[in-house]
Structure 1
Amino acid sequence: MGEPERVAPGMTHERVGAFVDAVFAIAMTLLVVEIRRPPAGLVEGDEPRLVMAARLWDFLSGNWTTWLAFVIAFLILWGVWREHHRTLDLVTRVSPRIMARHVPLLIVVVLLPYATGLIGESVSNPLAVCVFAAAVAALLFAQAALLRAILRDDVLRPGTDAAAMRVQAATLLVAGVFWLLTAGLTWLVEGVPLLWLLAPVVGVVSARRFAARA
């Protein structure tokens, strides 16, 4: 029986995973902080109760894109975190390259709540939509780069399906390109946030096609 692989100090996947979990949890919580709150005069006053409720409903429905951005950002962070969590369970150690790939990933994670807040301030501003879409694209690209680094450094546990990880990395790249295209499209047309609802379809179709070729 061979000796277990020695892991350099600071390169255990457990500690890295714990730190990443904390960053994702904080970022996902901060998303709700960026949702616009109604002014105090809108929820309180001397008007009849039904009038106040109608005014509050108008405010909430008028900011539907803020809620859409919140839900999309939360689900994307959740999905990337779940994939990251699963991936680290498949490795024996973290290489310097893999550690370096975490830097852009976590930078985008902590910036995503700010990008979501920009949507809440002005969804009609193409730059706000562009920043959000570009941030999501960068997050997906960073996750794909992390997976490719893991494959390149040969740190997977014996028996791990490397082909499936390659499919996942390719799918993330395609999804990132989709978001990047919407970032550019927002300068030409309105209503781009509605296209974001197609992101899961793009991911599923891409994954199936890559899996069929693998």
Structure 2
Amino acid sequence: MSDHHAQQLERLTFFSDAVFAIAITLLVIEIHVPHLPGGGDQAYLQALYGLLPHLFGFVLSFLVIGALWASHHRVFGMLQGHDDGLVWPNLLFLLSIAFMPFATALMSGDVNGRVPALFYAASLLLAGLLQRWLFTRALRAPRVRPQVEPAEIAAARWRTLALPCAALAALLVAWTAPPLSYLCYALIPFLTRLLAAQGRRRARRRQAVAA
């Protein structure tokens, strides 16, 4: 593709990186430093204990958004140029990322509540589905660099199922046991590796059959 298309892809990537960075930074806003004039050690320990749900929400969402950024970075590094077909899918995906600080604040305010847990899971499910839509459109010829192996393209596509699967499981668990629903997100790293390996195997099997 032309230098113009390469520059447009670079601009789109820089803009996306900025949205990810801002969303991650906004997560910490809900963690307010306790102000206890003359409170003593016990008062500070109690105040910090009260912040644990917000710290939990910060760490969880930081890791999820960070993983989504890493996937976005990996996939866009496979591309050789930009076209208008990527703009709106990328914007809608970034919309879900920019919304995450609000969903995190709601969840952190009551980690035992059903509605906050359902809302958080639904937000992650939407982000995962939009990511899959974006990557499915992006990883098509002639957008992909010629030197990228089909197995890696397949792995990138299959990885996008990890977050929707974990979020859907969390959505179901949150209906009856909201606090336990957050354990479902611990499955994401394992699902990512498992699905990526499955994608590579299927792609290599197809190559072997075609050969």
Shorter-chain-normalised TM-score: which range? 0.7 to 0.9
Query: Which range moved further: 120-129 or 58-67?
Result: 58-67
Question: Matched residues in 1 for 2:43 and 2:115: separation?
Answer: 29
Match in the other structure for 1:34? 30
Identical amino acids, percent of aligned pairs: 26
Query: Which range moved further: 113-122 or 131-140?
Result: 131-140
Query: Which range moved further: 204-213 or 145-154?
Result: 204-213
CA contact (8 A) 1:115 1:132 kept: yes
Count of aligned pairs between the two proteins: 202
Question: Matched residues in 1 for 2:197 and 2:5: separation?
Answer: 39
CA contact (8 A) 1:123 1:129 kept: yes
Superposition deviation, residue 180 in structure 1: 1.9
CA contact (8 A) 2:5 2:83 kept: no
Match in the other structure for 1:173? 161
Question: Matched residues in 2 for 1:173 and 1:132: separation?
Answer: 18
Question: Matched residues in 1 for 2:141 and 2:89: separation?
Answer: 12
Is 1:96 paired with 2:89? Answer: no
Q: Can you list the C-alpha shifts for 1:124-177, whole angstroms capped at 9, x where unaligned?
A: 221111111222222222222111101235311121123312222222223312
Superposition deviation, residue 9 in structure 1: 7.2
Whichever structure has more helix as a proportion of its residues is 2
Amino acid at match of 2:117: V
- Summarize the alignment of residues 195-214 of structure 1 with structure 2, pairs less than 5 Å apart: 195-214=184-203
Amino acid at match of 2:106: L
- Summarize the alignment of residues 107-122 of structure 1 with structure 2, pairs less than 5 Å apart: 107-122=95-110
CA contact (8 A) 2:75 2:156 kept: no
Question: Matched residues in 1 for 2:178 and 2:116: separation?
Answer: 12
Question: Matched residues in 2 for 1:99 and 1:154: separation?
Answer: 16
Question: Matched residues in 2 for 1:35 and 1:130: separation?
Answer: 22
Is 1:188 paired with 2:176? Answer: yes
CA contact (8 A) 2:166 2:184 kept: no
Amino acid at match of 2:59: V
Question: Matched residues in 1 for 2:195 and 2:3: separation?
Answer: 36
Name the TM-score, length of structure 2 as normaliser.
0.84
Name the TM-score, length of structure 1 as normaliser.
0.83
Superposition deviation, residue 204 in structure 1: 2.2
Amino acid at match of 1:21: D
Match in the other structure for 2:9? 13
Gaps of 5+ in 1: none
Query: Cα distance 1:194–1:37, how it changes in 2: closer, same or farther (>3 A)?
Result: farther
Match in the other structure for 1:24? 20
Q: Can you list the C-alpha shifts for 1:24-82, whole angstroms capped at 9, x where unaligned?
A: 111110010123554x3xx223x5x3xxx333323333443322221121112122222
Question: Matched residues in 2 for 1:194 and 1:89: separation?
Answer: 31
